Amino acid sequence: MQRAKVNQSINLKDYNDIWVIGEQREGKIHPVTIELIGEAKKLASEIGKKVIVVVAGYEIEEEVKKLLNYGVDKVLYIKSPLLKTFSTDGYAISISNLILERKPEIVLVGATSIGRDIGPRIAAKIGTGLVADCTKLDIDPTDGKILQTRPAFGGNLMATIICPINRPQMATVRPGVMQKAQHIDNPTGVVEEITPNLTEADIIAKVIEIVKSGKKRVNLIDAKIIVSGGRGVKGPEGFELIKALADALGGEVGSSRACVDAGWIDSMHQVGQTGTTVRPEIYFACGISGAIQHLAGMSESKYIVAINTDSTAPIFKVCDFGIVGDLKEVIPAMIEGIEKGKAFEI
């Protein structure tokens, strides 16, 4: 593995502010951007820095302006017709050039498909490190460095990583992990439009056509109620019960990795370290043992309800309510109660 060259002449005092690389899809700001703003504001309050959001695109002025209502100090809008449709080259080049010019101290990127695409490329272009899939960010009280924590060794331990020499300090953060910034009225921040030094020749890989999947979108990140199934459902037919409970509650269907690997359900439903990180109001863990990899993706739920035949399953150590019993008996009884008007209130 090759290591990025360290710039020995770098002056850490030249770097300031916390940047959030905002993400927009088809002209709409992705929710992870609001989560990153919330985390950036928390970090900024500890080290006395400004929070700046960087958004690349074209003809999204109104959407960009909305970001000011989350209490940021400034939005840098990189505006170009070449950035209207996402391209790896266009976004990475434009954002990298701006980072080299303005020198932020910390850069946060969403660990989405787009963020995971451009994040490492930006880090390579500007010659710094990148900590991927962070679940926790803190400030070291001794010197103000950012402490970046992520799962390691298959989720069996948490590693805290620092970037002591190079700048900026970069991290990707998984969607659903951080608290969203609060919406405010009468914001004081400003939007600065920037025209990038970008040409058609810079964009090597071009988008020819966008084909959307015909599958129903599963929105686990914003769901208030999630009903997840694990090995205990004992097959794809077991997810019919899971879906029935989710439908009765107006929630989404989730799954452990084991069920996805077994082909019982699509990967878009996977919750956990290698799936989606969620924080619903209520999370039903049905037939899920409670492996640390799964807990990493749902432990921040407001309430966790566990249903399992094994009373010694680790899930019972973290749940708020536990039911020891057979899913085939427990879930139909729950659905019957809901249909009789005994629905859960959030």
Cα separation values, 136 from 104, 175, 247, Å: 20, 12, 33
- Compute the half-sphere exposure of residue 231: CA atoms within 13 Å on the CB side of its CA: 9
CA pair distance 191, 188, nearest whole angstrom: 10
Query: Is 2 flagged in the annotation as binding?
Result: no
Helix (H, G, I), strand (E, B) or coil at 106: strand
Query: Is 30 flagged in the annotation as binding?
Result: no
Beta strands in the chain (DSSP E): 16-21, 24-25, 28-29, 51-57, 74-79, 104-110, 130-134, 136-139, 146-152, 157-161, 169-173, 190-194, 225-229, 252-255, 282-286, 303-308, 321-324
- Closest-CA residue to 322 (of 336, 308, 301, 343): 308
Query: Is 257 flagged in the annotation as binding?
Result: yes
Query: Is 292 flagged in the annotation as binding?
Result: yes
Query: Is 270 flagged in the annotation as binding?
Result: yes
Query: Is 291 flagged in the annotation as binding?
Result: yes
Query: Is 290 flagged in the annotation as binding?
Result: yes
- In the chain, the amino acid numbered 261 is D
* Residue 222 CB partners (closer than 8 Å, separation 6+): 31
Query: Is 167 flagged in the annotation as binding?
Result: no
Across-strand partners of 304? 283
Cα separation values, 318 from 15, 73, 145, 158, 305, Å: 42, 39, 32, 18, 9
Query: Is 294 flagged in the annotation as binding?
Result: yes
Query: Is 183 flagged in the annotation as binding?
Result: no
For the annotated binding site for FAD, the residues are 231, 256-257, 270-274, 287-294, 308
For the annotated binding site, the residues are 231, 256-257, 270-274, 287-294, 308
